[in-house]
Every structure is written in structure tokens, then in C-alpha cells.
A and B are shown apart, each in its own frame.
Chain A
Amino acid sequence: MATIEVQRQILPILANPNQGARFYNPELPQSEPFVPGHRTCAGCGPSIQYRMTSKASGDNTILVGPTGCMYVANSSYLCTPYNVPWAHTQIGSAGSFTAGVAAAYEALIRKGKWKGQYPNIICEAGDGSASDIGLASISGALYRNHDCLIICYDNEQYANTGIQASSRTPYGGMTTFSPPGPEVPEGKKLFPKDLARMMAAGHPHCYVATASVGYPIDLMNKVRKGLNHKGAAYLMVYTPCQKGFVYETPRSIDLGRMVVECGLYPMWEWTPEKRAFDYSFRPASIRPVSEYLKLQGRFGHLHAEHIANLQKFANEQWRMVGVELPEALIKAADPKNQINMAAAAEAEVVAETV
């Protein structure tokens, strides 16, 4: 029997229409697979990400939702806000379920039992599923190179169950599992797992990238690149959680920008063809981490030395992406300077990159 070749969708990359100083978003896709009428919190970061991702992928999409906020809050009482097929799976089986969907479609098309294009298969795993509980199954799906996109919407904690620490919770982040006190004043002592680099290093044939809701067009383009990549792709997206981070809801997008500008969330792409990291992304300005920390209640207990520790961590990230460090950031990595800097004017933009 002659096998039928799988027809894949190729999604165009959104081009920046701006000439000169103008700000004008590119023409966005019309389709809206994620509609209002869901019970995520006001200003929910993962929800912003979910909407942008599904808008980028279009109507011929299958969404997989392992247990997490985006499963619990969106699909309560048997009704969902999805205009496209969506399925829930257990928190540990995100990768295996997604791999199954992808393999099933490949087989159905090959055998002529499914007419039409191969769908965009997207798994929306939280950092609990992607970084801790479902790590093995996701690694398996990436290793076997099923044609799917696995997204880790990284809100840096188990928010669905009431803010518990995950391996992505940053150093100093307060959660119910890492409360600050006299013995452990910084709250969380460990630095977060570098999940995306681990995926890139372990599965070099996959497209891997980090993104943030603060850069929507960049995020949508990375989703499309991941879907266009023939084989598995992995995306880690910074999505602030209003309840866990304890900030004012209007700041959701602002935090997404700030975390990149402070160097705590380096943006890069792993290009499997070149077997190399692409570090060319540059935020408009560079800031000390205190700018990011002071917006969030979960870092309210930090002492000067803890802020300096985080600055040291951020400085390493800047060095990794090849940014020459401004003097102010090197100074800020010293706790002595942090004491004076905490409220000083120095804690503003320290360098413009464009």
C-alpha cells in the first residue's frame, strides 16, 4: 500500500511593520481558539500566554493540558474556553500523551484515515509538570522527536494548589513551601533549575527557545518557529502569576519585560541545524534586579545580601548571552552597595542597548 505523505502547516513569521519611531503591531491572525469565559485570575500571565500561543497556531490545532492552572481554571464544570480540540492528561504524562496524539495523527494520515493537514499539536504544561513531575515523559517525547510543540508556561511555582515551591521557583521566592523565617531568611535557598538549557543540551535535534509574555510578537513568532520545525520543539515562557508573585494585576506584561531587562530570564533560541545557541535578542534597556524584585510581594523579605546574590546570578546570565556588564551591575552584586542602592536613583535604567 502506498503511504500518503503528511502535509504539514507552514505558519508565516510576523514581520515588524514599524519604520522609524512608530509603534504599531503587525497584522495578527484572525482566529481566536482561546475565548473569554474562563476562571483564571484577573491579569493571569499563563492565560495571556495561552491566548497568544493559540492565536499564533491557528484553528487547526490540538491542545493538550496536563494538570495545572491552565487545566483547572479553564475547564471547570465540564465546559472549556477552547474553540479547538483540547484534552486533559495527568500531570506526569504530559509528554507521553502529546507523543501519542502526534504519533496517532501521523499514522492516520499515512494510512489515509485522516484527510487534511497535520494539526499543530501543542502541550501546555506548567512548570510543575514540565520541570518536576512530568520531566521524564516530556524528555521522552523530545527524544523520540514527535512533531509537536511542548510549552512550559513558567509561573515559577505550583500556583494551582496554592503557591508551593517548584524547581523553577527563583532563589529568595516566598511560597508556602519556602516561607522565610529566622533560620532561612531568604525563603528559598536553591537557585532554579535551568530547564530550557537542559532540554536544549539533552535533545539537540529539537528547536528550544525561551520567551516571555512581555514580548508578545517575539513569543508568537517562536511558537510558529517551533510548529514549523519538523520534529519536536520546546518553549519555556515566562508567565507571571498575580497570586504567587503578589503584584498589582496591571503589571503582568510589565513584569514580563522587566524580568528580561534585569537579566533573570535570558532570551535565546537553540537552532538545531547549527547546533548552536542564538543569543542575539537584546532588551531595550538593562536594569539591576532590584527593579524587578521590588514589584513583587514574594521578594519583600529579602535582605541586601540576598539581592546581591540574585544580582550575581543575573550577571552570570548576562555574561552567558555576551553582554558587556555595566559598572552599576557589578557594583550591585556586592551586598555593601545594595544597602545604599535599595531606594536610590541608581536603581533605574543603567544601560540602553538600542
Chain B
Amino acid sequence: MSTKGTKIPDWLTVPFAGITPAPSQDKGQNLFPTGNWRAIRPVYRDKLPPCNNACGTNEKIQGYLDLVKRGKYLDAYALIKEDMPFPSVTGRVCYHPCEQACNRGKYDEAISIRAVERFLGDLGQALTNDVVKPGKPNGKKVAVVGSGPAGHSAAYQLARLGYKVTILEKSPKAGGLNRGGIPDWVLPQNVLDREIERLVQLGIEIKTNCEVGKDVSWDDLKKNYDACVLAVGLTEPNSIRAEGENKADVLYGLPFLRDIGMGTSKVKIGARVAVIGGGNTAIDCAREALRQGALEVTMITVESHPEEMPCVAEDLHDMLEEGVELIHGRAVTSILGNGKVESLQLHPARFSGAVNASPINIDRTAKPESFVVDNVIIAVGQHASLAWLPQEFKNERGTVKMDRFGRLGDTNFFAAGDIAQFGSGQPLMVVNAVGDGKRVAFNLDKALRGEALQPRTIAIDVIMDLNRMNMTYFPHFPRVHQALLNPITRKKTQDEVIQGFSEEQAIEEANRCFSCGTCNACDNCYLVCPEPCIARPARSNGLYKILVDYCKGCRVCIEECPTGCLEGVPELDFDTGVVRMDTAFAITPGLHGRQAQELVNLSTRPAKDI
């Protein structure tokens, strides 16, 4: 092309001189920065996977499943340990709200997250030294009252923050509900012992047989420690207010399990046992009664249908497999017998409201049914025992009076776990208590450092929805099921019912994870870009970058991103990386660039000039 006789500005002479600048692999053909074609810019933004959101302690579930996929088990274990002090315990006992929330559940079957967590927890148990180290000592002392899930979690997080933590436990063995409320055939004692050992390795002192109000007073706590976490849990069983309930051999659910767990039980279970209640503790009691020698176990619930029972469906299924009978829509009105329990009197009943905890309407006009039993176990919930708590910190309902951060007045006392969450609408489950313990530990740290506290509920980010992901890339694949012991033989032993995953099974199950809303370095955007204007220094999660000088905004990458971590944002929302040109040639910003600069300077100009 001849340029003779044409007046060409200096900055346009290069391509016409017959010297075609060679493109480079890093910079591309920079004579054509085609970024000014773009109306919508793709942006990488990781969103919250529904499992992470649903988890009571917001474990980074997608994160550790992704690490398991790559065979990085130790990293995965370390990632769980950020939020969860005892994955080997929750891997066995958790009611897995993550699996209910799993997007894969809407596609084929939810990921067996709990089983993978247990696999990693057991891996962590086998390590000689734990991956978690105590924080740099800051010289402050904190007492944690109670060593159940919330206390364990708070003590663990505080030790990681550098506090000198002392746990006060009233029982002879630490573990709280994890030991006393969960039977051995769900959680073997040695697993829990190992997790308690880990706490001691973090430098936490555990004082057993030390009950607040008896061995330690409120003033002692105030005097001897800089701060205190109260995680005493709900220890006192609720009564059913039936006649004759004061008989000596009427058993209550949690004390029944606790005594067996602590090895101090003197109860001799007869052939026919009735369990009153329809929750998780009632189910555990019924199954434990079988293992203690009962031949016929019947569960009596006010709920009119198994689906209404406030329990984990899997556990209910396993219980029914073991041969426990259900009687629905009945309430026990009196416990009959001469000195000891001989039979129960049942009346039809239903809840007066929609919630299981609402008052019960008993139809006393109906003819009572008699039900012959040798033992009765009452498991209809618990309440807190707060006699030691100063009156100023009790509210009108008899529970702890605290602010939304869990803090008692302006003291350095915090309540955590079931005593704080009871009545708040949060489920009273192990994982929720762990999450509460964690958040209270962080708030306690903030309070001692004089920073603003954060609410105990988490901030909601964008939760990834299945519709925003590209399902073309995910074949249907069945869930890997955990092996169970035979119901005929298992109901006579204390052997663990649910078996763990092998390494192959754990990988196979983790492979099913969609990584909802999070980059997992699948390289698909990098592969399908027509320019190609997606660069990555190395193939790793979240290292992908859009070269905004060239991206034309075709959005193929957004459409083809399997996990949906790419999203389109209108170009007008940006003030960086915007390519503005008069023509395809201009290397200078041109008219649009000058306008943009004027807009930037607008605020500095006096009002009369505008």
C-alpha cells in the first residue's frame, strides 16, 4: 500500500511503513485492541455454594471436596479444621443440612458430604501431630464452661487465636453432649477421646468434675479469667406432666444415654420398652434400648405421621429397620404401676399449632388405651439448668438474657451453643452449636480487643443456584452409599452401624461435586474463548484473567462455565480496563478517552465551570 502524498500522523505510521509488527504470545496483536467492541464484560466472581451456606458452622465444603478430587487430603483436612474442630465426630453424627441444600440433589442425588468429611476426619485422627497449631500467646485467660460441641469449638478457636483456655466440665470425662448424648454405635468413644487429646495438644487445660455453681462460682469466673464462654447446654430433661411420672424407675432420654456413655449406668432394661417422643434423642434411646437387651421397643409420638417427626429421616429409617414400632397421635396421660412402671395410659392427642413444640391438645374424653411396658424412657426435649446464673442475666422465660452477639450485658461473658440458640429458630444440633461456638469465640476476641462485634448469624452472599450453571458438562452419576451393618445383628452390639468410605469411594463421591459458583480450574473458559483473551499464569483455581484489551464481550465463556463462577457485568459499570478508540487504528485514547478523563476530573472543577 502506497502512502505517498498522504499526511499521516506520527502514531499511525508504523503499520503503513510495510513493517507489520509481529504479534506476541503475551501481548497479542496490539494494533487491534478490540476491547472497545464490548458491551458486557465477563468477570470471575466466586459465589457461595449452597452447602457452605447451609452448614451450621459454614465449613468450606466445596473447597475440601475440590481438594479431595485432586488427592490433596491433608490440605482438605486443614481446610475443614478452620471451622470444625472435630470432623471425625460430625462426619458421624451430623444431620448434614449441607446435603439437603446440595444442588446435585436437584439434578440426581446429593453428594454424600458427611461421608467424605468422616473420611478426612479419620485421616486427621491417624496423624501423629495435628495440622492446627496454637496461636501466638497473648497472655489473656479465658474459661469455657462446658466441653460439649459449642464449648469444644469455642475453646479450639480461642486457642488458635492465642488465648490461654481452661475448660470446666462437670462430668468425670470431657466431651459433653458428644459423649453423653450420642451412643457408641454412632460415635465410638475412642474417636472422641482422640479429638479431646487434640485440644490438650493445643495447650488447653481441661478441668473435669468441676461444676459451675458448685465447684466454681460466678465470682471466681469473673475474678480469675479475662473472659468466659458459657456453653453448658440443655441438661435437664423435660417432663410430660403425666400422673405417676415421679416413679423411681421412669427413665429420661438424655440422662439414660449419658449414664451409658459415661459408663455409670445401673439401669436394667426389661423386655418391653416404650419411648415417649419423636425426636433424634428418642430415636437414639429406642435403638440403645434394643442394645441394652430390650426385645420389643415402641415409640409413642404425638405426631400423626413419621414425616412430621422432628428427626433425621435416615436415622428413622435405620431405627425402623431394627424393628422399632411406632404409635402416632397418642400422649401418655398416666404411668401406672405399683411402685414400679407396669403400664401406660394413652389418650389421643395432637399439637395445637403447626410447630412440634406447640402445646398438646389431649382428648381426655376418649376411652384411654392401656399399654403394658417394663420400662419407659421419656425423651421430649431438654431445658437449661441455670441456677448458678445471676438473676440480672436471666430473662422472663428463664433463659439467658444476652444481646444479638451472645454477650451478657457489657460483661466479657458470652453464651454459646444450645443455651444461646434455644428458641432462636436455629436447630439445636451439634454442627449449629459448633458454629455458634466459633462465632462467639471470634466475637469474644473482638470484645477483648475493643473492636465492633459481628452478629451471630452469617452474612448472606449470592448463593449459587443450579439454573445458573451449565449442566451439559456433568453426566448423571449415582451417589456412593456408605455400607451399613446388618440390622438383625447390629441391634445387639455396640458396633458402629455406618461404615466409612475407602479412599476410592471418597474420590468418586467428591468427583460428583459441581463446585457450584466456584472456579475449579477446569480450563473450559480458557479453551472456548474465540479470541483467545483468557490468560492464566498457571492452571489453578481463580488464577484466570480476562485480557480486557481484547475481549469482545461475546460471553461464550460465561455460557460455557460449568460452575457459573463467571458472570457478565455491563461495561459502563467499570472505570478501569476500558478500551476507547476513535478508529480501529488509534493507539491513543481518542475522543472517548478525553471525555472519560473529563468525567473523572468533574468533581474537582468548580461548579460554575460545569
| A contact set with B: CB distance below 8 Å | 18-25, 27-28, 31-32, 34-45, 47-48, 51-52, 77-83, 213, 216, 242, 249-254, 257, 284, 352, 354
Instruction: Across the interface, name the chain B residue whose C-beta is closest to A33.
Output: B25
A79 with B25: CB separation less than 8 A? no
- Pick the residue among B30, B475, B522 that contacts A37 (CB under 8 A): B30
- Pick the residue among A36, A43, A51, A242 that contacts B547 (CB under 8 A): A36
Known: A35-B23, A79-B20. A25 touches B523 (CB 8 A): yes
Known: A37-B32, A79-B15. A21 touches B511 (CB 8 A): yes
B253 interface residue (CB < 8 Å to A)? no
B405 interface residue (CB < 8 Å to A)? no
Q: How far is the CB of B519 from chain A (nearest CB, A)?
A: 12
In the bound complex, CA of A50 to CA of B394 (Å)? 73
Known: A24-B522, A35-B28. 8 other contacts (CB 8 A): A20-B507, A25-B524, A35-B532, A37-B550, A43-B554, A250-B560, A253-B559, A284-B472
- Pick the residue among B20, B523, B530, B531 that contacts A80 (CB under 8 A): B20
- Pick the residue among B34, B520, B527 that contacts A38 (CB under 8 A): B34
A80 partner residues in chain B, CB cutoff 8 A = 20, 23, 29
> Number of contacts between A and B (CB, 8 Å)?
156
State the 10 A-B residue pairs at the shortest beta-carbon distance, nearest first: A37-B29, A43-B554, A21-B477, A36-B550, A250-B559, A42-B554, A22-B511, A42-B552, A36-B531, A36-B28
- What are 29 A-B interface contacts by the 8 Å CB criterion? A20-B512, A21-B474, A21-B511, A22-B511, A23-B473, A23-B524, A23-B562, A25-B524, A28-B523, A28-B526, A32-B532, A36-B550, A37-B30, A37-B550, A38-B531, A40-B530, A43-B556, A48-B528, A51-B530, A78-B15, A78-B18, A79-B21, A80-B20, A81-B28, A83-B25, A216-B527, A250-B560, A252-B530, A284-B475
B162 interface residue (CB < 8 Å to A)? no
B559 with A81: CB separation less than 8 A? no
With most chain B CB atoms within 10 A of its CB, the pick from A27, A44, A81, A250 is A250
A47 with B531: CB separation less than 8 A? yes
B205 interface residue (CB < 8 Å to A)? no
With most chain B CB atoms within 10 A of its CB, the pick from A254, A257, A352 is A254
Instruction: Across the interface, name the chain B residue whose C-beta is closest to A46.
Output: B530
- Pick the residue among A37, A78, A250 that contacts B33 (CB under 8 A): A37
B422 interface residue (CB < 8 Å to A)? no
A38 with B532: CB separation less than 8 A? no
Known: A78-B20, A250-B558. A28 touches B527 (CB 8 A): yes
Residues of B contacting A: mostly: loop
- Pick the residue among B20, B22, B527, B549 that contacts A52 (CB under 8 A): B527
A78 with B29: CB separation less than 8 A? no
B32 with A249: CB separation less than 8 A? no
- Pick the residue among A19, A25, A40 that contacts B507 (CB under 8 A): A19
A213 partner residues in chain B, CB cutoff 8 A = 528
In the bound complex, CA of A81 to CA of B28 (Å)? 7
Instruction: Across the interface, name the chain B residue whose C-beta is closest to A25.
Output: B523
Instruction: Across the interface, name the chain A residue whose C-beta is closest to B18.
Output: A78
In the bound complex, CA of A164 to CA of B34 (Å)? 26
In the bound complex, CA of A83 to CA of B21 (Å)? 11
B526 partner residues in chain A, CB cutoff 8 A = 28
Q: How far is the CB of B178 from chain A (nearest CB, A)?
A: 33
A44 with B530: CB separation less than 8 A? yes
In the bound complex, CA of A327 to CA of B579 (Å)? 53
Known: A22-B69, A79-B29. A27 touches B539 (CB 8 A): yes
In the bound complex, CA of A52 to CA of B523 (Å)? 13
B533 interface residue (CB < 8 Å to A)? yes
B1 with A78: CB separation less than 8 A? yes
B23 with A83: CB separation less than 8 A? yes
Fill in one digit per residue for B498-539: 1 if any A CB lies within 8 Å of its CB, else 0.
000000000110011000000011111011111111000001
A253 with B18: CB separation less than 8 A? no
A42 with B37: CB separation less than 8 A? yes
- Pick the residue among B31, B473, B512, B530 that contacts A77 (CB under 8 A): B31
Fill in one digit per residue for B473-496: 1 if any A CB lies within 8 Å of its CB, else 0.
111110000000000000000000
Q: How far is the CB of A248 from chain B (nearest CB, A)?
A: 8
B27 partner residues in chain A, CB cutoff 8 A = 35
B555 partner residues in chain A, CB cutoff 8 A = 43, 249-250
In the bound complex, CA of A232 to CA of B556 (Å)? 33
B38 partner residues in chain A, CB cutoff 8 A = 42
A47 with B33: CB separation less than 8 A? no
A37 with B23: CB separation less than 8 A? yes
A38 with B29: CB separation less than 8 A? yes
In the bound complex, CA of A216 to CA of B522 (Å)? 13
- Pick the residue among A19, A47, A257 that contacts B530 (CB under 8 A): A47
Instruction: Across the interface, name the chain A residue whose C-beta is closest to B555.
Output: A250
B32 with A39: CB separation less than 8 A? yes
- Give residues of chain B (541-573) contacting chain A, Cβ–Cβ below 8 Å: 547, 549-550, 552-556, 558-560, 562
B603 interface residue (CB < 8 Å to A)? no
A34 with B532: CB separation less than 8 A? yes
In the bound complex, CA of A305 to CA of B13 (Å)? 58
In the bound complex, CA of A251 to CA of B22 (Å)? 32
Instruction: Across the interface, name the chain A residue whose C-beta is closest to B553.
Output: A42
Q: How far is the CB of B319 from chain A (nearest CB, A)?
A: 31
In the bound complex, CA of A210 to CA of B114 (Å)? 45
B532 with A36: CB separation less than 8 A? yes
A38 partner residues in chain B, CB cutoff 8 A = 29, 32, 34, 531
- Pick the residue among B475, B524, B531 that contacts A21 (CB under 8 A): B475
A37 with B28: CB separation less than 8 A? yes
- Pick the residue among A22, A25, A42, A77 that contacts B15 (CB under 8 A): A77
B584 interface residue (CB < 8 Å to A)? yes
Instruction: Across the interface, name the chain B residue whose C-beta is closest to A75.
Output: B20
B24 interface residue (CB < 8 Å to A)? yes
- Pick the residue among A28, A39, A81 that contacts B23 (CB under 8 A): A81
Q: How far is the CB of B181 from chain A (nearest CB, A)?
A: 36
B20 with A249: CB separation less than 8 A? no
In the bound complex, CA of A39 to CA of B28 (Å)? 13
Fill in one digit per residue for B3-20: 1 if any A CB lies within 8 Å of its CB, else 0.
000000000000110101
A44 partner residues in chain B, CB cutoff 8 A = 530, 554
A43 with B473: CB separation less than 8 A? no
In the bound complex, CA of A222 to CA of B523 (Å)? 20
B522 with A23: CB separation less than 8 A? yes
B22 partner residues in chain A, CB cutoff 8 A = 83
A45 partner residues in chain B, CB cutoff 8 A = 530
Q: How far is the CB of B24 from chain A (nearest CB, A)?
A: 7
Instruction: Across the interface, name the chain B residue whose C-beta is closest to A354.
Output: B475
In the bound complex, CA of A242 to CA of B558 (Å)? 17
Fill in one digit per residue for B577-607: 1 if any A CB lies within 8 Å of its CB, else 0.
0000000110000000000000000000000
B512 partner residues in chain A, CB cutoff 8 A = 20-22
A20 partner residues in chain B, CB cutoff 8 A = 477, 507-508, 511-512
Q: How far is the CB of A187 from chain B (nearest CB, A)?
A: 26
Q: How far is the CB of A38 from chain B (nearest CB, A)?
A: 6
Q: How far is the CB of A103 from chain B (nearest CB, A)?
A: 27
B522 with A81: CB separation less than 8 A? no
B32 with A79: CB separation less than 8 A? yes
A216 with B528: CB separation less than 8 A? yes
In the bound complex, CA of A51 to CA of B584 (Å)? 22
In the bound complex, CA of A43 to CA of B558 (Å)? 12
With most chain B CB atoms within 10 A of its CB, the pick from A41, A48, A52, A80 is A48
Q: How far is the CB of A246 from chain B (nearest CB, A)?
A: 15
In the bound complex, CA of A216 to CA of B549 (Å)? 25
A352 partner residues in chain B, CB cutoff 8 A = 476
A32 partner residues in chain B, CB cutoff 8 A = 25, 532
In the bound complex, CA of A23 to CA of B521 (Å)? 10
Q: How far is the CB of B606 from chain A (nearest CB, A)?
A: 42
Instruction: Across the interface, name the chain B residue whose C-beta is closest to A257.
Output: B472
Known: A42-B37, A47-B531, A83-B23. A251 touches B559 (CB 8 A): yes
